[in-house]
């Protein structure tokens, strides 16, 4: 599933093409791509035609495109397992798993097609209300407005957000008896981190994924947060992580952070730090990847 770096790469790719653009036409090819939209496909199409997009904003794994007509609404998207938002010429052929096509007219770039493609159909687009942020800070990356899409209002800020509070994160660990990895994946505590980057940050911080969060010292918690941020920043710089063709940027190009992984997906291979074979253990229908020597359970 796309995590913060992958969604941010998509957001930053969309921004110059859609910010300031007017929606010319919308075509819903598969209503399953509107599972989070409160109305019908016709309603979705009708509510967007002729409206202007002001920005591309992200919080955690949610992305939204605010609409500029005083209605405090946005097109909100969640990529799910395999969703893609692609920029194409208006006469480009259909994508293999194309679900929605939106034509926009930008004052500098002219007409472009914003295509939502999704092989597994777990992602969706919706017209959603924008609501005030609880702390009065900007809703997410890409806009200074203190507004957040209502569908993303329940999730915490992500570790790269200027309004993220490290002290609150450390306190959340101290209060929890859950495994530290479960807390990292809890989007109400810290958003944007999924299985890949949790494993990578825990390896870098030398913390066992099943260590009780309350057993993590304040010093170690701050080191873990620093490693989370470092991993996310490096993944961003490398375009995200692509293991197959399902995650690509807006131009259809894959990220290459998979070549920089130290733990995730490397079970049986030597730890880059100590040389001992990495292991994989079942975790919530997925897996945790770690070094049994460097990451001892407390």
Alpha-carbon dihedral 67, 72, 73, 74, rounded to 10 degrees: 50
Where does residue 120 rank: exposed (0-12), middle (13-18), buried (19+ CB within 10 A)? exposed
208 labeled binding residue: no
Name the active-site residue from 3, 8, 15, 200: 3
Burial 41-72 (b: 16+ CB within 10 A, else e): beebbebbeebbbbbbbbbbbbbbbbbeeeee
109 is in an annotated binding site: no
- The rounded distance, in Å, linking the Cα atoms of 114 and 103 is 6
Query: Which residue's structure tokens are 């009065």?
Result: 136
> Active-site residue 132, yes or no?
no
Active site residue 2: yes
Where are the alpha helices (H) located in 158-272, listed in sequence order?
Answer: 166-175, 180-185, 195-205, 218-237
Catalytic member of 2, 5, 159, 209: 2
DSSP β-bridge partners for residue 59:
62
User: Do 179 and 210 form a contact (C-beta atoms < 8 A)?
Assistant: yes
Tokens for 280?
A: 């994989």
Tokens of 88: 């194409």
The answer to whether residue 3 is catalytic is: yes
The DSSP 8-state label assigned to residue 119 in this structure reads S
Q: Which listed residue (58, 61, 141, 266) is catalytic?
A: 61
Cβ atoms of 213 and 220 within 8 Å: the answer is no
Residue tagged active-site, from 273, 286, 292, 293: 286
Check if the beta carbon of residue 213 is closer than 8 Å to that of residue 173: yes
Q: Is 61 a catalytic residue?
A: yes
Annotated binding site: 97, 120
Annotated binding site for DNA: 97, 120
> Which of the residues are catalytic?
2-3, 61, 286
């Amino acid at each position: 599933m796309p995590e913060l770096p992958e969604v941010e790469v998509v957001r930053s790719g969309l921004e110059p093409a859609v910010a300031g653009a007017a929606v010319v036409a919308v075509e819903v090819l598969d209503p399953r791509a509107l599972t989070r939209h409160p109305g019908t496909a016709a309603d979705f199409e009708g509510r967007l035609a002729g409206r202007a997009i002001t920005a591309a904003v992200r919080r955690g794994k949610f992305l939204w495109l605010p609409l500029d007509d005083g209605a405090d609404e946005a097109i909100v998207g969640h990529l799910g397992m395999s969703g893609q938002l692609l920029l194409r010429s208006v006469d480009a052929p259909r994508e293999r798993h194309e679900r929605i096509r939106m034509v926009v007219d930008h004052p500098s770039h002219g007409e472009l097609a914003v295509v939502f493609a999704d092989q597994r159909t777990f992602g969706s687009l919706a017209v959603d209300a924008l609501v005030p942020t609880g702390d009065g800070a900007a809703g997410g990356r890409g806009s200074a407005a203190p507004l957040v899409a209502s569908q993303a209002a329940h999730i915490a800020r992500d570790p790269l957000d200027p309004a993220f509070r490290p002290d609150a994160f450390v306190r959340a660990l101290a209060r929890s008896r859950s495994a530290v990895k479960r807390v990292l994946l809890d989007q109400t505590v810290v958003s944007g981190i999924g299985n890949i980057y949790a494993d990578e940050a825990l390896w870098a911080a030398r913390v066992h994924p099943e260590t009780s969060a309350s057993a993590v010292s304040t010093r170690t918690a701050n080191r873990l947060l620093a490693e989370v941020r470092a991993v996310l920043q490096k993944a961003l710089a490398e375009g995200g992580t692509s293991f197959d063709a399902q995650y690509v940027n807006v131009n259809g190009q894959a990220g290459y952070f998979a070549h920089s992984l130290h733990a995730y997906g490397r079970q049986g291979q030597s730890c880059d730090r100590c040389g001992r074979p990495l292991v994989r253990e079942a975790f919530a229908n997925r897996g945790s990847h770690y070094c049994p020597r460097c990451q001892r359970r407390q």
